[in-house]
Structure 1
Amino acid sequence: MDTAYLSKPPAESASGASPLVSVRRVSKQFGNGTLAVRDVDLDLGAGEFVSLLGPSGCGKSTLLRMIAGLAAPSTGAIEWRDGASAAARPDLGFVFQDPTLMPWANALANVMLPLALKHVPKREAQERAAEMLALVGLKGFERSYPRELSGGMKMRVSIARALVMRPKILLMDEPFAALDEITRHRLNDDLLQLWWKERFTAVFVTHSVFESVYLSQRIVVMAARPGRVMADFPVDAPYPRDELFRTSADYASLCRLASGRLKEAIGS
């Protein structure tokens, strides 16, 4: 892991500027009557790394999809600082739980897909896609097909595809949940480096206390269905975060704090 970066980038919402996106009293009820999310208020500042932490089925993914414009709130509103809707934003990237790659296309073509949909010239699209693959550590695998890649490598391609449009906000829905612990740790490290270099706002859904503490500046804890925000607290630890941080007393203390807040949320 490259430890050339230090401390953390300032979040604009913390400095008094308006947040990049605001969730205001948002609820989501599905057609079968299930109330998945209820009265969520949340501000996301530019450059922040925020984790949504909660048990399975608590509405984390539903909330993320509403922020992305992939689902509409039943009540409430999601407001962007510049007034544009999520559906109209080329500067929003989304990484799903599964890589969702086109099996008939190689890594380069998979990453080029968002550029092709925006009618970016082919040569420029190839150059940008190759740059993103190199950024996620896959230089030399441009012509490899998904069947030839490991689970972690396929997820790297998925992240490269989400980053190729240079998003201001990257939304991630438990992208590493199915990976082994070693690969997951490595991708956590790489994700932090990408976040630092690209300075996007990151919103990361997870049910892992340890992952949320390792990655985040802020942790938003959600209660079981209907999903509600039960706690929103800072992770007071500097970057870089590496194996020394994972084995430190500070990390253990922060994990106990997050675990306690999660236990309270589950019991509410």
Structure 2
Amino acid sequence: MVQAARVRATATGGARPLVTVRGVTKQFANGTIAVRDVNLDLATGEFVSLLGPSGCGKSTLLRMIAGLGDPSVGTIDWPTAMHDASGHAERDLGFVFQDPTLMPWATALANVTLPLRLKGVKGREAEDRGAEMLALVGLKGFETSYPRELSGGMKMRVSIARALVTHPKILLMDEPFAALDEITRHRLNDDLLGLWEANRFTAVFVTHSVFESVYLSQRIVVMAARPGRVMADLRVEAPYPRDELFRTSADYAHWCRIASEKLKEAIAS
């Protein structure tokens, strides 16, 4: 039976969230307000999509969560993280950009092991862990291949492997599959869900696709533009694992319709 939509009031159900965003506004030097008064909790092990039109501040918010930019107003905290002597949280995260951003002169394995080497992991241990991660994303046998020898989907798999090789608590993804063909995109959606279900990291996925957000997510945070703000926080009550049968089900169509309506309301606001 198709369940009724339910807007989620809180992400954590009383437990301490992994990340808290409180009253965050970002204004750039030219006066543009990218996001305004955003409040959001991210719980351990959940899959959240940030859904909205281009220019609604999804990527800006993601980058601030990653520490790649600071809010103009408000706070982004990691309540359960370790803090350094200056009181700054040690963000345990991986980031996947819109483009694979691979080093063209390095092999797939060397690209994946870069975060390990930056953390001081060397030699055979780094190579073994990198090769294991490449195998998990379906690239066993491509360890010595260079980016120029890989397809777009394969390069994105290397990027995901690199982001996950340190086993971060949270994986932040900024429209990583937007430039790929539909078949490759569906396959990578499936692979991403498999990795998430096996490892249960927190996933935050930026997309402007209703269909992708419903297929992947437990929660869909719908954002409106100019300035970017949260308009709805929708809980997708559909079980995992999700596969091609789910993509053609009445349940999937139901949640896509609800998410589309919320997005339409956000755009019109």
Shift of 1:123: 1.2
d(CA) in 1 for partners of 2:191, 2:136: 9
1:130–1:115: structure 2 CA closer, same or farther, 3 Å change rule?
Answer: same
2:63 equivalent to 1:62: no
2:113 aligned partner: 112
Calculate percent identity across the aligned residue pairs. 80
1:265 aligned partner: 266
Check whether the contact 1:69–1:85 (CA below 8 A) recurs between aligned residues: no
d(CA) in 1 for partners of 2:81, 2:45: 19
Within a 5 Å distance, the mapping from 1:117-132 to structure 2 comes to 117-132=118-133
The TM-score normalised by the length of structure 2 is 0.93
- Give per-residue Cα distances to partners, 1:30-53, cap 9 Å, x unaligned: 011100000000000000000000
Check whether the contact 2:12–2:41 (CA below 8 A) recurs between aligned residues: no
Check whether the contact 2:81–2:89 (CA below 8 A) recurs between aligned residues: no
Shift of 1:82: 2.4
Secondary structure of 2:222 counterpart: strand
Structure 1's consecutive aligned runs of 4 or more residues displaced over 6 angstroms after TM superposition are none
2:39 aligned partner: 41
1:228 aligned partner: 229
Secondary structure of 1:233 counterpart: strand
Shift of 1:83: 4.8
1:221–1:108: structure 2 CA closer, same or farther, 3 Å change rule?
Answer: same
2:5 aligned partner: none
Letter in 2 for 1:136: V
Letter in 1 for 2:146: Y
Gaps of 5+ in 2: 1-9
Shift of 1:89: 3.3
Check whether the contact 1:49–1:201 (CA below 8 A) recurs between aligned residues: yes
Secondary structure of 2:12 counterpart: helix
d(CA) in 1 for partners of 2:197, 2:81: 26
Shift of 1:13: 4.8
d(CA) in 1 for partners of 2:91, 2:32: 32
Letter in 1 for 2:187: R
Shift of 1:119: 1.5
Letter in 1 for 2:266: A
Secondary structure of 1:212 counterpart: helix
The TM-score normalised by the length of structure 1 is 0.93
Secondary structure of 1:46 counterpart: coil
Gaps of 5+ in 1: 1-11
Secondary structure of 2:98 counterpart: coil
Letter in 2 for 1:68: A
2:251 equivalent to 1:250: yes
RMSD: 1.5
Secondary structure of 2:231 counterpart: strand
1:5 aligned partner: none
1:69–1:85: structure 2 CA closer, same or farther, 3 Å change rule?
Answer: farther
Check whether the contact 1:27–1:76 (CA below 8 A) recurs between aligned residues: yes
Within a 5 Å distance, the mapping from 1:174-213 to structure 2 comes to 174-213=175-214
d(CA) in 2 for partners of 1:109, 1:84: 29
Return 254-263 or 117-126, whichever deviates more.
117-126
1:193–1:41: structure 2 CA closer, same or farther, 3 Å change rule?
Answer: same
1:169 aligned partner: 170
1:85–1:207: structure 2 CA closer, same or farther, 3 Å change rule?
Answer: farther
1:205–1:85: structure 2 CA closer, same or farther, 3 Å change rule?
Answer: farther
Which of 61, 70, 73 is 2:71 aligned to? Answer: 73
Within a 5 Å distance, the mapping from 1:131-142 to structure 2 comes to 131-142=132-143
Equivalenced residues, count: 257
Shift of 1:14: 3.5
2:23 aligned partner: 25
